[in-house]
Chain A
């Protein structure tokens, strides 16, 4: 390789493609998750702007659902079943995104396999995080030795970026994550995420809307502080039907489970 001095634009282009198409996950985020769940929490709001001289203006619609996923195994106590949290946000403009988090995932088929943890799904893209715990060291032949142990694997399209959980403050790691996201998300995607997070944070203050699904932001945007919306927003019972992840228009943002009311019969 000639030892020429590299210029900025060339470097940026190359950095964008560092993250490793050949190591991208073969499994999808939902592949190993049970497809059916029982609804534990289900809250919907219309987010409305009101003010002096301002009519009721719909800003967004929210729905938070927590499902207990049925693993179709009766040897596993109900309180050990995995949970799937979904926070659907539909802006008044029609833009949609979903924050999702998996709690208490089932044991992976192979200990070295990362498990789905959290994701942000948009209509044309998604950023997902898989995690591998620090359990017994198992050789992971698909990656170099230095990638062993506990890691989060950021995943977008065909790219994957491993990040050790303790390294989120490290400047090189922050720089790498930023470059990874610059490739994965368009400026309008990032803007949609920012606007939606502001509303959700405000809703969690005003209405105790669970905001645990936003935990993913600490990994994707380390060091960034998201502030609740400063607009005069109110959160009202929805006037229309609740957002439905099984609705056709949501299909490109998430993979809807079958959602059942009640409790499982043993």
Chain B
């Protein structure tokens, strides 16, 4: 007699699985009114039964690429990565009922969100990020400047680690001048094609 698990397995193998929906990809050009593009943003979202994964890549005028990834390995856990170019990630894990886990360069610390404004905690975040890449702190400061410059009230939730890094209070290299505009669309060529490839590759990772 065939056991129930074996039956279920056979059924799963026989049934044609529905193709996963293609990821939603959005492109945004950021520019100062009357000027050249200041930043290129590509964002891809994939929804699966376990949760939604969002990957955003932002390329600034200096060609550096900041990648932000939010995934949800289980319903009560969200994992956020931010990395500059291909360097190692600064990772924040948020799990229901637990302090945040911040990891970078093989090191980690736990912190309570309510303590983020304390000087000691801000210092520790700065030290930890500096172990990965000191420029990560500047990049995070630049993102916050861009957000303010664009008149946005807050960053998208997937930028949570950027918000955490902002507590280290590193100064931004950007000086808002002129009116910042954004334009959504489907763009081709350099750097868009490379950025799209990058987000889709990242989205395919577990």
Beta-carbon contact of A3 and B169 below 8 Å = no
CB distance from A243 to the nearest CB of B (A): 36
Cβ contact of A143, chosen from B91, B127, B205, B206, cutoff 8 A: B127
Q: A23 an interface residue at 8 Å Cβ cutoff?
A: yes
Q: B65 an interface residue at 8 Å Cβ cutoff?
A: no
Beta-carbon contact of A175 and B99 below 8 Å = yes
Distance in angstroms between the alpha carbons of A166 and B106 in the assembled complex: 29
A147-B108 in contact given A3-B73, A167-B120 (Cβ < 8 Å): no
Beta-carbon contact of B103 and A170 below 8 Å = no
Q: A77 an interface residue at 8 Å Cβ cutoff?
A: no
Beta-carbon contact of A164 and B123 below 8 Å = yes
Beta-carbon contact of A146 and B89 below 8 Å = no
Beta-carbon contact of A149 and B168 below 8 Å = no
CB distance from A51 to the nearest CB of B (A): 47
Distance in angstroms between the alpha carbons of A167 and B134 in the assembled complex: 25
Q: Mark B95-130, 1 if CB is under 8 A from A, else 0.
A: 100010101001111111011001111111111111
Cβ contact of B122, chosen from A3, A146, A175, cutoff 8 A: A146
Which chain A residues lie closer than 8 Å to B88 at the CB level?
1
Which chain A residues lie closer than 8 Å to B124 at the CB level?
18, 162, 176
Q: Mark B162-205, 1 if CB is under 8 A from A, else 0.
A: 00000111110000000000000000000000000000000001
Beta-carbon contact of B171 and A2 below 8 Å = no
Which chain B residues lie closer than 8 Å to A206 at the CB level?
none
Which chain A residues lie closer than 8 Å to B106 at the CB level?
14, 17
Q: B59 an interface residue at 8 Å Cβ cutoff?
A: no
Which chain B residues lie closer than 8 Å to A166 at the CB level?
119
CB distance from A13 to the nearest CB of B (A): 9
Beta-carbon contact of B119 and A146 below 8 Å = yes
Q: B157 an interface residue at 8 Å Cβ cutoff?
A: no
Beta-carbon contact of A146 and B167 below 8 Å = yes
Cβ contact of B99, chosen from A1, A144, A145, A172, cutoff 8 A: A172
Beta-carbon contact of A145 and B115 below 8 Å = no
CB distance from A7 to the nearest CB of B (A): 11
Which chain B residues lie closer than 8 Å to A170 at the CB level?
115, 118, 120-121
Distance in angstroms between the alpha carbons of A143 and B170 in the assembled complex: 11
- Residues of A within 8 Å of B, CB-based: how many? 32
Distance in angstroms between the alpha carbons of A217 and B69 in the assembled complex: 42
Beta-carbon contact of A2 and B120 below 8 Å = no
Distance in angstroms between the alpha carbons of A175 and B124 in the assembled complex: 13
Which chain B residues lie closer than 8 Å to A176 at the CB level?
109, 120, 124
Distance in angstroms between the alpha carbons of A167 and B124 in the assembled complex: 12
A11-B101 in contact given A2-B205, A145-B168, A172-B110 (Cβ < 8 Å): yes
Q: A171 an interface residue at 8 Å Cβ cutoff?
A: yes
A175, closest chain B residue (CB): B110
B53, closest chain A residue (CB): A3
Q: Which of A122-144 contact B (CB under 8 A)?
A: 143-144
Distance in angstroms between the alpha carbons of A6 and B110 in the assembled complex: 12
- 9 closest A-B pairs by beta carbon, nearest first, are A144-B126, A164-B119, A146-B122, A147-B123, A172-B115, A14-B108, A3-B79, A167-B120, A1-B89
Question: Can you give 11 contacting A-B residue pairs, CB < 8 Å?
Answer: A1-B88, A3-B71, A5-B79, A14-B106, A18-B109, A22-B131, A144-B170, A147-B123, A149-B119, A151-B120, A164-B123
* Given pairs A6-B108, A11-B101, 15 additional interface contacts (CB within 8 A): A15-B107, A22-B131, A144-B123, A144-B126, A144-B127, A145-B170, A146-B125, A146-B126, A162-B123, A164-B118, A164-B123, A172-B110, A172-B111, A173-B121, A175-B111
Residues of A within 8 A of B (CB): 1-6, 11, 14-15, 17-18, 20, 22-23, 143-147, 149, 151, 162-164, 166-167, 170-173, 175-176
Residues of B within 8 A of A (CB): 69, 71, 73-74, 77, 79, 81, 88-89, 91, 93, 95, 99, 101, 103, 106-112, 114-115, 118-131, 134, 137, 167-171, 205-206
